[in-house]
């Protein structure tokens, strides 16, 4: 007990004790929200619903306007969306295109991203990065970063200046874009209009939902995003689920060497949307999200215009056909994460979270967006649907070669005369693809090796240039065709250097959720830089990654290494 002459002893109450005793906090938990930050966030995010699933869209608003994400504004955003600050921070720090800074930091208003992935590296991307960094060093308001594939492999080396895609880039061209202030998206020409004839035929009863699925079966249409799963089986599975069903369209093509989806959007966005609407009507989808990779700023502007232009036509159809309820179509913007090409990671991102792949089961057809059964498709698969209904699935299937079915869009880059997207028969060989569609080998180059399916599809030697290219035809060679991304190497290239470039990509893009992928990609990258490869150690790592990784990134990342060890032993010092 204190005497009248003694000062009272003050014992501080620690935060946990304060909570246990029910003592009120003087301030809210976490970083305090500056009033100016609250006002700035409210202004930049005006018109955007304050929903947690729109967190990434809110982050884009701030990042686009400020050139970065400031800590005080992140706190204000958490308050606006009724999320904890840690939830906002973990999402903001996950995606590559968000730059986090302190409130008073000076930030670049323009970021130049120079692609250094395989096709661009073969075309001098590393030199372009170095020369651009030197030329713009100290330039106020400009940052220059190396970037993984930006979907312009056929126009290598490529860069992105702000939101302006710059094909066949040079340091001088980059400087000119900055000087003009021309850092917004390029304007793409309006695609040919679409009359929605097949959708109207379905709504009018000229086609039944069962007849639509039958045409998909007759065509043997498979998912064209990489996995090749039969499309009709997905439709039947989701259609059979009770309750509300959703759909997602995967336009997050980040596979090194892949750019076909950009070409499909740039020339045929209305047909993609008709395919989406037909799938929604047949399967019974109430809400469809289109998830587009962030590098495609030009295609995003075009697609947004097409979605807006579609709305009055859908209202008209709903009036003409009272039984028809159009789905809600929502465009979502990726933020620089290759892992979101995996469908469950993409769904996590749509929900406003980090793009971490989900453990399976359940599959997304049973438990997808917000826990509802979800039809997930690559956009090219849906682009084909109206054409198959117009001309018949069997007629489309008959256009393949060597017993394969249908047509394929091949993204062809590297040492060829005419890189680009080439529509060719399924089952075509690499040699035929080069000679008949890509104009032959580039001047001064002979075929040394090729990637049949992008970064994860393996590397095959010239001696296997006559193997049919399609789903399931390359398995015995430890490769797959995936998203049909073909990168051609000449005699001056090495499979070893190509594989190292790809493994650096995988290391950069691993989401870090599982140890085999997170640690394995880093260890393989280091081992591949040794003068002589340790084949036994690499083989052990490969086996662990294939067996224990959660998703396809870690499971397929060793493919380039295994291919080099199998087909190019002279390049690894054995």
**CATH 1.10.10.1590-classified regions of the chain:** 35-101
Closest CA to 415 of 470, 496, 492: 492
Nearest to 350, CA basis, from 335, 366, 338, 365? 335
Three-state SS sequence of 125-173: HHHHHHHHHHHCCCCCCEEEEEECCCCCHHHCCCEEECCEEECCCCHHH
Proportion of the chain above pLDDT 90, given as a percent? 92
Structure tokens at 27: 């301030």
The one-character DSSP state at 424 is: E
Spatial distance between the Cα atoms of 149 and 209, rounded to a whole number of angstroms: 39
Cα distances from 217 to residues 211, 231, 375, 394, in angstroms, run: 10, 8, 17, 9
Nearest CA-CA partner of 521 in 553, 485, 489: 553
What number of other Cβ atoms are within 10 A of residue 521's Cβ? 25
| pLDDT band with cut points at 50, 70 and 90 for residue 5 | very low
- Shortest CA distance to 354 belongs to which of 120, 93, 166, 156? 93
CA distance 219 to 502: 34
Predicted model pTM: 0.92
pLDDT value of position 573: 77
Secondary structure element (H or E) that encloses residue 451, with its range? strand 447-451
Q: What is the 3-state secondary structure (H, E, C) of 358-407?
A: CCCCCCCCCCCHHHCCEEEEEHHHHHHHHHHHHHCHHHHHCCCCCCCCCE
pLDDT tens figures, 44-91: 999 999 999 999 999 999 999 999 999 999 999 999 999 999 999 999
Which one, of 85, 73, 86, lies nearest residue 42 by Cα? 73
Name the 3-class secondary structure at 420: strand
The torsion region of residue 119 among left (phi > 0), alpha (psi -120 to 50) and beta comes to alpha
Examine the pLDDT at 3 and tell me if it is beyond 50: no
- Nearest CA-CA partner of 237 in 131, 45, 113, 368: 368
- Which pLDDT does position 164 carry in this prediction? 96
Give me the count of residues in the chain. Answer: 574
Residues of the chain above pLDDT 70, percent? 95
Q: How far apart, in whole angstroms, are the C-alpha atoms of residue 202 and residue 215?
A: 13
Give pLDDT, residue 71: 95
Pick the CATH number of 110-180 from 3.60.10.10, 1.10.1740.10, 3.40.30.10, 3.10.450.50: 3.40.30.10
Residues 246 and 256: their CA atoms lie apart, in Å, by 29
- H/E stretch holding 11 reads none
Residue pair 247/280 in contact by the 8 Å Cβ criterion: yes
In this structure, what token pair is assigned to residue 473?
């035809």
Distance from the Cα of residue 43 to its chain's centroid = 29
The mean pLDDT of 262-289, rounded to a whole number, is 97
Q: What proportions of the chain, in percent to the nearest 5, are helix, strand and coil?
A: 45, 15, 40
CATH T-level fold of 197-393: Rossmann fold (3.40.50)
* Partner residues linked to 331 by β-bridges: 290
Q: Can you tell me the distance from the alpha carbon of 59 to that of 160, in angstroms, rounded to the nearest whole number?
A: 20
Q: Which two tokens stand for residue 278?
A: 């037909």
Residue ranges of the chain that CATH labels 3.10.20.600: 407-489
* Rg (alpha carbons) of the chain, rounded to whole number: 26
- Residue 91 to residues 57, 84, 100, 225, 335: CA-CA distances in angstroms? 11, 11, 11, 25, 10
Pick the CATH number of 35-101 from 1.10.10.1590, 3.40.50.12280, 3.40.50.970, 1.10.10.10: 1.10.10.1590
Q: CA-based angle 520:360:509, to the nearest 5? A: 35
pLDDT, residue 121, reads 97
User: Pairing relation of β-strands 447-451 and 485-490?
Assistant: antiparallel
Q: Residue 537 is encoded by which pair of tokens?
A: 């150690």
pLDDT exceeds 80 at position 475:
yes
Contacts of 207 (CB under 8 A, 6+ apart): 198, 201, 389
**CA–CA distance, 449 with 452 (Å, rounded to integer):** 10
> Which one-letter DSSP state was computed for residue 30?
S
The SS3 assignment for 289 reads strand
| Cα 37 from Cα 70, distance rounded (Å) | 9
> For residues 25-49, b (16+ Cβ closer than 10 Å) or e, as one string?
eeeeeebebbeebbebbeebbeeee
The pLDDT mean for the chain works out to: 93
CA dihedral 552, 555, 561, 565 (to 10 degrees): -130
- 27 pLDDT higher than 80: no
Vertex 433: Cα angle to 427 and 437 (nearest 5): 130
Which residues in the chain are classed under CATH 3.40.30.10?
110-180
- Are the C-beta atoms of 128 and 96 separated by less than 8 Å? no
- How sure is the predictor about 29, in pLDDT bands with cuts at 50, 70 and 90? low
Whether omega before 362 lies within 30 degrees of 0, making that bond cis, reads yes
| Statement: residue 11 has pLDDT above 90 | no
**Each residue's pLDDT tens digit, 159-171:** 999 999 999 999 9
With a CB cutoff of 8 Å and minimum separation 6, the contacts of 23 are 13
Sign of CA pseudo-dihedral 338, 341, 344, 348? positive
Q: What is the pLDDT of residue 23?
A: 54
Task: Classify domain 496-572 at the CATH topology level.
Answer: de novo design (two linked rop proteins) (1.20.1440)
**CB of 258 closer than 8 Å to CB of 378:** no
Closest by CA to 61, choosing from 30, 40, 75, 81, is 40
- Average pLDDT rounded to a whole number, residues 141-145: 94
Rounded Cα gap, residues 109 and 65, in angstroms: 8
pLDDT tens track for 300-323: 999 999 999 999 999 999 999 999
Look at residues 153, 349, 327 and name the one whose alpha carbon lies nearest to residue 250: 349
> Which residues in the chain are classed under CATH 1.20.1440.230?
496-572
Does position 6 have pLDDT exceeding 50, yes or no? Answer: no
Give the pLDDT of residue 4: 41
Write the CATH number of the domain with boundaries 407-489: 3.10.20.600
């Amino acid at each position: 007990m204190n005497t009248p002459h003694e000062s009272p002893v003050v014992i501080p109450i620690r935060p946990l004790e304060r909570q246990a005793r029910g003592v009120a906090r003087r301030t809210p938990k976490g970083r305090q929200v500056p009033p100016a930050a609250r006002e700035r966030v409210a202004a930049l995010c005006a018109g955007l619903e304050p929903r947690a699933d729109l967190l990434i869209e809110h982050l884009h608003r701030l990042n686009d306007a400020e050139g970065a994400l400031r800590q005080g504004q992140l706190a204000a955003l958490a308050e606006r969306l009724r999320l904890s600050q840690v939830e906002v921070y973990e999402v903001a720090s996950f995606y590559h295109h968000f730059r986090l800074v302190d409130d008073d930091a000076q930030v670049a208003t323009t970021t130049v991203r120079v692609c250094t992935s395989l096709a661009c590296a073969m075309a001098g991307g590393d030199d372009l990065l170095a020369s651009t960094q030197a030329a713009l060093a100290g330039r106020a308001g400009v940052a220059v970063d190396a970037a993984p594939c930006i979907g312009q492999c056929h126009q290598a080396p490529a860069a992105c200046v702000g939101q302006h895609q710059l094909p066949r880039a040079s340091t001088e061209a980059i400087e000119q874009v900055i000087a003009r202030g021309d850092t917004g998206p390029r304007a793409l020409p309006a695609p040919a209009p679409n009359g929605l004839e097949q959708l109207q035929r379905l709504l009018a009863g000229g086609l039944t939902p069962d007849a639509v699925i039958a045409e998909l079966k007759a065509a043997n249409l498979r998912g064209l995003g990489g996995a090749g799963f039969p499309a009709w089986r997905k439709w039947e599975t989701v259609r059979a689920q009770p309750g509300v069903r959703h759909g997602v369209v995967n336009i997050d093509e980040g596979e090194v060497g892949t750019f076909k989806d950009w070409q499909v959007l740039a020339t045929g966005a209305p047909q993609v949307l008709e395919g989406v609407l037909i799938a929604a009507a047949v399967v019974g989808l109430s809400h469809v999200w289109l998830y587009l990779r962030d590098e495609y700023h030009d295609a995003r502007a075009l697609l947004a215009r097409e979605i807006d232009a579609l709305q009055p036509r859908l209202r008209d159809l709903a009036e003409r056909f009272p039984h028809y309820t159009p789905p809600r179509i929502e465009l979502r913007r990726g933020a620089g994460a290759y892992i979101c090409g995996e469908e469950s990671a993409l769904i996590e991102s749509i929900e406003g979270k980090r793009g971490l792949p989900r453990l399976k089961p359940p599959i997304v057809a049973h438990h997808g967006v917000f826990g509802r059964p979800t039809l997930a498709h690559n956009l090219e698969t849906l682009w084909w649907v109206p054409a198959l209904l117009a001309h018949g699935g069997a007629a489309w299937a008959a256009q393949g070669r060597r017993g394969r079915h249908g047509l394929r869009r091949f993204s062809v880059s590297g040492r060829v005369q005419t890189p680009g997207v080439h529509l060719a028969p399924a089952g075509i060989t690499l040699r035929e693809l080069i000679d008949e569609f890509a104009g032959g080998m580039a001047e001064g180059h002979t075929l040394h090796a090729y990637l049949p399916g992008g970064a994860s599809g393996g590397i095959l030697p010239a001696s296997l240039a006559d193997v049919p290219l399609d789903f399931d035809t390359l398995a015995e060679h430890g490769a797959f065709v995936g998203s049909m991304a073909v990168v051609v190497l000449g005699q001056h290239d090495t499979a070893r250097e190509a594989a190292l470039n790809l493994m650096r990509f995988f290391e950069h893009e691993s989401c870090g959720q599982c140890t085999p992928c997170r640690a394995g990609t880093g260890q393989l990258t280091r081992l591949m830089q040794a003068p002589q490869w340790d084949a036994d150690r690499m083989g052990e790592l490969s086996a662990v990654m294939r067996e224990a990784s959660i998703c396809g990134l870690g499971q397929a990342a060793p493919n380039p290494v295994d291919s080099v060890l199998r087909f190019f032993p002279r390049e690894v010092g054995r």
